[in-house]
Chains A and B, each alone.
Chain A
């Protein structure tokens, strides 16, 4: 099978596995995420285990990928080039964190919950897309 066919399959499988991971871990559930962020009251620390396992697993494969010049089904690795810690990064992360705390949804879980047709999630996703476009018009193209 050639790379042109495999590439999309790899992306589809990756999205599917990513989504199952979000569902199995409970990271898709806004109430659980808010309990995780509720450090000073009814704290549920269990989501630490999600980041605590996802990060080292990816770090391991990322480290080994350094031995390869190209990925298996594409011509180049597209590693993010930005390294600067600037006001734009900090402001973005701050606004994102506030929105995340308000209802307990970040983009991945919001998208994985889409076909549950939960009205709250649908409203959030529409506003999420609008926020993405407003930022695009105000600050310019994706860096």
Chain B
């Protein structure tokens, strides 16, 4: 159980951050919405997303400055990275959300729509990793 403590602390912080944004300014902390907002900055009501994004991006240097380290182990296969990015960008746009908007906030709001989306992308993710293993581990 002890090995889950960083995950529980991290998850609690994510939940608190989403709550702060909701109770503070009434916005859902969904990364897909934040991304789309970058292209909608002629709308003043989207400005909050820039501030949120600034905080998100600054978390990494802050974390390092505090003396911690965070592993980032990722494939160096450009084709794989490019296709994954396109699929995630396209899919989250048409599905209106990702792990944060549907997975944390939508599930927390007890939205059936978000629950269906979350189960769908989880199953798709598990299936993709399983198929890649069968195909001989491209990663």
Contact = CB atoms under 8 A, between A and B. Distances in A.
Contacts of A102: 80, 83-84, 87, 128, 132
A16 B12 contact: no
Nearest to B5: A49
A108 B17 contact: no
A33 to B, nearest CB: 8
Contacts of A62: 19, 22, 105, 108-109
B113 A82 contact: yes
Contact of B15 (A15, A53, A130): A53
B55 A80 contact: no
Between A72, A103, A118, A143, the greatest number of chain B beta carbons within 10 A of the residue's beta carbon is seen for: A103
Given A25-B14, A127-B81, A18 B74 contact: no
Between A80, A88, A116, A123, the greatest number of chain B beta carbons within 10 A of the residue's beta carbon is seen for: A80
A126 to B, nearest CB: 7
Contacts, number: 482
Given A49-B11, A51-B104, A96-B98, A65 B48 contact: no
The number of chain B residues touching the other chain, given as a range, is 35 or more
Contacts of B139: 34, 103
Contact of A125 (B63, B85, B132): B85
Contacts of B108: 54-59, 62
Interface string B29-70: 101111110111000000111011111111111110000101
The number of chain A residues touching the other chain, given as a range, is 35 or more
A47 to B, nearest CB: 6
Interface of A: 6-32, 34, 37-41, 46-62, 65, 68, 70-74, 76-80, 82-85, 88-108, 110-116, 118-121, 123-136, 139, 142-143
The 7 closest A-B pairs by CB, nearest first: A92-B95, A131-B89, A25-B10, A97-B124, A127-B85, A19-B59, A15-B55
27 contacts: A13-B17, A18-B17, A18-B52, A19-B58, A20-B59, A24-B68, A32-B73, A37-B122, A49-B4, A57-B19, A58-B18, A70-B26, A71-B24, A72-B23, A82-B96, A100-B121, A101-B125, A101-B127, A103-B139, A105-B74, A120-B75, A120-B76, A121-B74, A124-B74, A132-B90, A136-B93, A143-B96
Interface of B: 3-4, 6-29, 31-36, 38-40, 47-49, 51-63, 68, 70-76, 78, 80-96, 98-113, 116-118, 120-130, 132-133, 139
